[in-house]
Amino acid sequence: MADVLENKRAATRFRILAEIAERQPAVSQGEIADAVGVTSQAVSEYIRALVEDGLVEKEGRSRYTVTMEGVDWLLQAAGDVRRYADHVTEDVLGSVQEDAAIASDDVAEGDAVTLSLDEGLLHAAPGGEGPATGVATTDARAGEDVSVTGFEGIIDFDPGTVTVFQVPPVRSGGAGAVDADRVADACESADLVAATGVEAVVALRRADCEPATTFAAGAVATEAAGRGLDAVVVATADVVGRVTDALREGSVGYEVTELG
């Protein structure tokens, strides 16, 4: 569980700091008390502790600002809450929701099905004997989409890998400084190839490899790895940080290699 949700005090501290950030610099403790559902005295005590911890700076009577340390703490805590909410939505509530799958064979409504991932897509096969199962709520022929609910178990698959290849910017040689054969070899072994940056796109095309996307490459690679696909991202060195930031945010392991 996210740290700020472990107990009421941590959650209240998070909410009060967020309220200060929204209202700064003129902060009404009474308004915060009403918004959070605690007494004004409690707000005062929380603010005093936040000041002592260096997360809030007092600038005068009823004037407070969140410090850079406070901003960093809020961002981290908010990220923890978001990831926990995603877990509840996708992992917990997913068991009582419906989702679409590709029928591996003919399936009838009410059939127990075994679930698996194939090329990153959910598949449902007749019979409920695998590590992950569900129940079909529609009829479907092989290859058609079928609605599935009652999910149980965990789909058995290995997370994919992500390799990020850096292409120098055009001022340092760009795509012309890259070994096209090396790029082609990397693409051949990948399930998905994405690119970001003009030099990266040109380098791929010189290797006769058209990327699946040239936008949001880091997010796409993160999603692919989470579905068991091995991804290659070719990125211009100037923007490679955007890719690795998305991979770290998605808790995806990756390796960065320079081309050229």
Q: Mean pLDDT, the chain, as a whole number?
A: 88
> Would you state the pLDDT for residue 78?
87
**Would you identify the CATH topology of the domain 162-258?**
Cobalt-precorrin-4 Transmethylase; domain 1 (3.40.1010)
> Would you state the pLDDT for residue 2?
55
The runs of H, that is alpha helices, within the chain are 8-23, 29-36, 40-52, 68-87, 180-188, 198-206, 217-226, 240-249
What confidence tens digit (pLDDT) does each residue in 4-28 have? Answer: 777 788 889 999 999 999 988 888 8
> Would you state the pLDDT for residue 260?
66
> Would you state the pLDDT for residue 153?
82
What confidence tens digit (pLDDT) does each residue in 192-240 have? Answer: 999 999 999 999 999 999 999 999 999 999 999 988 899 999 999 999 9
What confidence tens digit (pLDDT) does each residue in 149-164 have? Answer: 888 888 877 788 999 9
Distance CA 167, CA 163 (A): 13
Q: CA dist 61 to 27, 50, 250, Å?
A: 9, 16, 42
> Between 55 and 159, where is the model more confident?
55
Distance CA 27, CA 57 (A): 12
> Would you state the pLDDT for residue 88?
65
Distance CA 123, CA 145 (A): 9
Q: Which two tokens stand for residue 114?
A: 């075994």
Radius of gyration of the chain (CA): 25
CA dihedral 101, 107, 109, 110 (to 10 degrees): -90
Whether the predicted pLDDT of 47 surpasses 60: yes
In this structure, are residues 197 and 174 in contact, taking their beta carbons and an 8 Å threshold? no
Whether the predicted pLDDT of 95 surpasses 60: no
**Would you identify the CATH topology of the domain 3-92?**
Arc Repressor Mutant, subunit A (1.10.10)
Share of the chain above pLDDT 70, in %: 95
Domains of the chain, residue spans: 3-92, 98-153, 162-258
Q: What are φ and ψ of residue 132, in 5° steps?
A: -130, 130
pTM, full prediction: 0.57
State how beta strands 231-236 and 162-167 pair: parallel
Mean pLDDT of 240-255: 90
What confidence tens digit (pLDDT) does each residue in 107-153 have? Answer: 999 999 999 888 888 899 998 787 888 899 999 999 999 999 888 88
Q: Which helix (DSSP H) or strand (DSSP E) does residue 58 occupy?
A: strand 56-60
